[in-house]
Structure 1
Amino acid sequence: MATQFPAFEPQHIAFIEEQHIFFVGTAAPDGRVNLSPKGSDSLRVPGPNRILWRNLTGSGNETAGHLMQANRMTLMWCAFTTRPLILRAYGAARTIHSDDPEWVELNSHFPPHIGARQVYDMAIDLVQTSCGYAVPLMDFRADRDTLDIWSEDRGADGIRTYWDKKNGQTIDGAPTR
């Protein structure tokens, strides 16, 4: 039932823009596979073969560590409220940190956030849709503000300290930067 495309078509981009959550999958050549849910206003599709998503401070930093070893990434969206559909985007991604030359331009695609940690710039080489018949129907209530409050309470210096303590390596011990 899966259908493959070389790039996003307009209906894929419209579907992505309607979703409140997406999932990011990465893996280093060895070690654990990481799969993370993402939300908030953190994703942009600037073209049919490109995605930008901004990563906010979190409990881990697996994606950055994995991309240092293998730049492959998969993003996935599921329809929870409409007709059944799963959309996946496969490709290679680069990590842009706040001290990289491209940071200001790429981060400007998103609303300001004190906890902004990286922007991932992904080149899409395959898009796939599948049925999603077994994905449950669920209603969206609201975005959580917990991370916003946590970040504001710590301030820029507190967040940098947190990154140094908690985000410097993957759970498998690989560096994240």
Structure 2
Amino acid sequence: MKVHERIDGRLRDFIEAQPMFFVATAPSGPDGHVNVSPKGMGGTFVVLGDHRVAYLDYHGSGAETIAHLTENGRITLMFCAFQGPPNIVRLHGRGVAVPVTSSSYADLLALFPSPPDTHGVRSVIDVTVDRVSDSCGYAVPLMSYEGDRDLLIRSHSRRTEEDLADYRRVKNAHSIDGHPVFAEPVAPQAG
């Protein structure tokens, strides 16, 4: 394993070329569940600097990442090479979820050069990276990338902003451990 000072050119190129990555968070203390989520879809991840990255967080069946970030901010993102030379890159840091209802949401969204349809995004996860490392990845299997799925985008296209606000309030109110996800009820985004 090698620790790097920053997300430099070679590491940045590798990270940006990966069609998927994994996000890990956990609640504070000895109890509770560690969460690992796969993320993907072209245009939903961006490197914002040597020590900063962000990704679009769409509505989903759970909201563990937001709950954990609200509680303690700890987050790790992992990128694996499933094609080409083996490599694993981990970005450890502190993250914050910026919900669609936040006044700074639109400014963060504008930093994504070519996002897919953003209807259905519930927040931007903004990560300050304090540790960058890579390792061999020799045991990661070789797999072929066929393309992005469009099911999430199509599913959200059928929902209004009010439907999405209800989804957050009803289905994304608490983590599986009962931690609150949004500090206050989240209203639909104006616009």
Normalising to structure 1: TM-score of the pair?
0.96
Which structure 1 residue ranges, 5 or more long, are not aligned?
A: none
1:56-77 CA-to-partner distances (Å, cap 9, x unmatched) read: 1111000010011111100000
1:21-59 CA-to-partner distances (Å, cap 9, x unmatched) read: 000000111310000000012110010100011101111
Which structure 2 residue ranges, 5 or more long, are not aligned?
A: 183-191
Which residue pairs with 2:83 in the alignment? Answer: 81
Check if 1:160 corresponds to 2:187: no
Match of 2:70 among 45, 68, 83: 68
Query: SS of the counterpart of 1:81?
Result: coil
Moved over 3 A (4+): none
Which residue pairs with 2:19 in the alignment? Answer: 20
User: Deviation at 1:6?
Assistant: 2.4
State the distance in 2 between where 1:155 and 1:113 align: 13
Amino acid at match of 1:71: G
Amino acid at match of 1:4: V
State the distance in 2 between where 1:57 and 1:143 align: 17
Check if 1:32 corresponds to 2:37: no
Check if 1:56 corresponds to 2:58: yes
Query: SS of the counterpart of 1:154?
Result: coil
Check if 1:145 corresponds to 2:143: no
State the distance in 2 between where 1:43 and 1:90 align: 16
User: Deviation at 1:151?
Assistant: 0.2
State the distance in 1 between where 2:163 and 2:111 align: 25
Which residue pairs with 2:141 in the alignment? Answer: 136
Q: Give the number of equivalent residue pairs.
A: 176
Match of 2:107 among 96, 105, 108: 105
Amino acid at match of 1:152: S
